[in-house]
Structure 1
Amino acid sequence: MTRTAWSENASAPLENEHVELHPISEDDREPLRKIAFDDRIWTYFVSRVESDADFDQFFDAMLADQHSGKRAVYIIVDRGTGQVAGSSSYGNLSEADGRLEIGWSWLGVDFQGKGINRWAKYLLLQHAFDVLGAERVEFKTDVLNAQARAGLRKIGAYEEGVMRSFNPMPEGRRRDAIYYSVLRAEWPSVEDQLGRLGKAVNPCA
């Protein structure tokens, strides 16, 4: 099967009946701004959004990464409400090695706990394995982020280990980062698990 180069197709629009993911554009600035100002979103993030200036710097960095090809930045839309819910990205793309990371993910607090994150991950994993032809998809999170770690284990991602003192955090500590991964051979099982979890959250799906 012929695969499309990642540089050409990493940012393809993705959707199912629950969520829509589209590549970031300037049009997304104000819809994202409306949901960004809550400290709970940024507890384990490597940056903070506390003011309009913080947000514009954060959004400009996403746009710059998208345009340079450093990341494929997606905006997540909740199809139930038609509202922008948050963002997620492909990053650390290494096509020669068949490896990429899904991360930089956040949702407005009103969209958390509703299955949106799982459906977004489903679409991003599906696109990575079935279209881009990835062999490995990885995730990393703060070792202190118990909720994210539990979520990754729940979908069947494999917990690989901790990278100590990985990066500085805004409050001054150095974060220990814990890595998870899904391999191509594991994807069918993870795909099934994500589908079942999503239907449990959305019983009418």
Structure 2
Amino acid sequence: MFTQQMHKTNKVILEPLNYEHLKGLYKAGQHPKIWEWVLSNYTKTPEQLKEWFTTSAQFNKKEQIVFAIIDIASKEVVGTTRLFRLDAHNLSAEIGHTFISHHWQQTYINTHTKYLLLSHAFDALNLVRITFNTHEQNQKSRNAITRLGARFEGVAYKDRLLSDGSYRSTAKFSIIDEHWQSIKLQLEEKL
């Protein structure tokens, strides 16, 4: 159901992640603030990044596509994102596992990236529901998800065990097909 293809706007390219993107991804992931709310920093070393690429990014290509986010003007790999947890029966998926280089946060990158993913999900794959999850306390991410037009659905308490032994409570958001056309128009105005 997923197609391994490139998607682009006038400012951003999403390419299915491949080995050639790892050097740029390593560079993009070096600011510690990026990893404050993420379950694990897989860009600590080039070796860890290669391990992540092999075990996580390449995991079950029928259920996910992992993309490199590339800024067209600079040709830099500025992060990664994925469309995953495809449920072919319920026509749903999740967008997440996103990180964007600290330098490129709060720029056009996230809006263009999510527009491309949502367009592919709703217009090409004909999905009816996309979910977004983030740490309950990650207000920056929650604001970014809300700006996309996603609706807050609630908090799943103690949803994920973190590497430090604490638990993450997850703020859950969604966009459904009935809302997509109006959200799409709003996002296109922002592009």
TM-score bracket for this pair, using the shorter chain length? over 0.9
Q: Which residue of 2 aligns with 1:16?
A: 9
Q: Which amino acid aligns with 2:106?
A: G
CA distance in structure 1 between the partners assigned to 2:87 and 2:114 by the alignment = 19
Q: TM-score, normalised by structure 1?
A: 0.87
1:174 equivalent among 162, 167, 172: 167
Q: Which residue of 2 aligns with 1:56?
A: 50
1:27 maps onto 2:27 in alignment = no
2:150 equivalent among 131, 149, 157: 157
CA distance in structure 2 between the partners assigned to 1:88 and 1:59 by the alignment = 13
RMSD: 1.5
Q: Which residue of 1 aligns with 2:68?
A: 75
Percent identity (aligned): 25
Q: Which amino acid aligns with 2:38?
A: F
Q: Which residue of 2 aligns with 1:138?
A: 131
Cα 1:125–1:68, aligned 2, differ >3 Å: closer, same or farther?
A: closer
Instruction: Between 83-92 and 67-76, report the one with greater CA deviation.
Output: 67-76
2:96 equivalent among 92, 97, 103: 103
Structure ranking higher in helix proportion: 1
Q: TM-score, normalised by structure 2?
A: 0.93
Count of matched residue pairs: 190
Superposed CA deviations along residues 8-54 of structure 1, whole A, max 9, x for unmatched, are x2x32101101000101111111211222221111111112433333
1:184 maps onto 2:152 in alignment = no
Contact 1:15–1:21 under 8 Å retained in 2: yes
Q: Which amino acid aligns with 1:84?
A: V
Could you tell me which runs of 5 or more consecutive residues in structure 1 were left unpaired when the two chains were aligned: 1-5, 199-205
CA distance in structure 2 between the partners assigned to 1:109 and 1:140 by the alignment = 20
Q: Which amino acid aligns with 1:179?
A: K
Q: Which residue of 2 aligns with 1:84?
A: 77
Q: CA deviation at 1:68?
A: 4.1
CA distance in structure 2 between the partners assigned to 1:155 and 1:70 by the alignment = 23
Q: Which residue of 1 aligns with 2:119?
A: 126
Moved over 6 A (4+): none
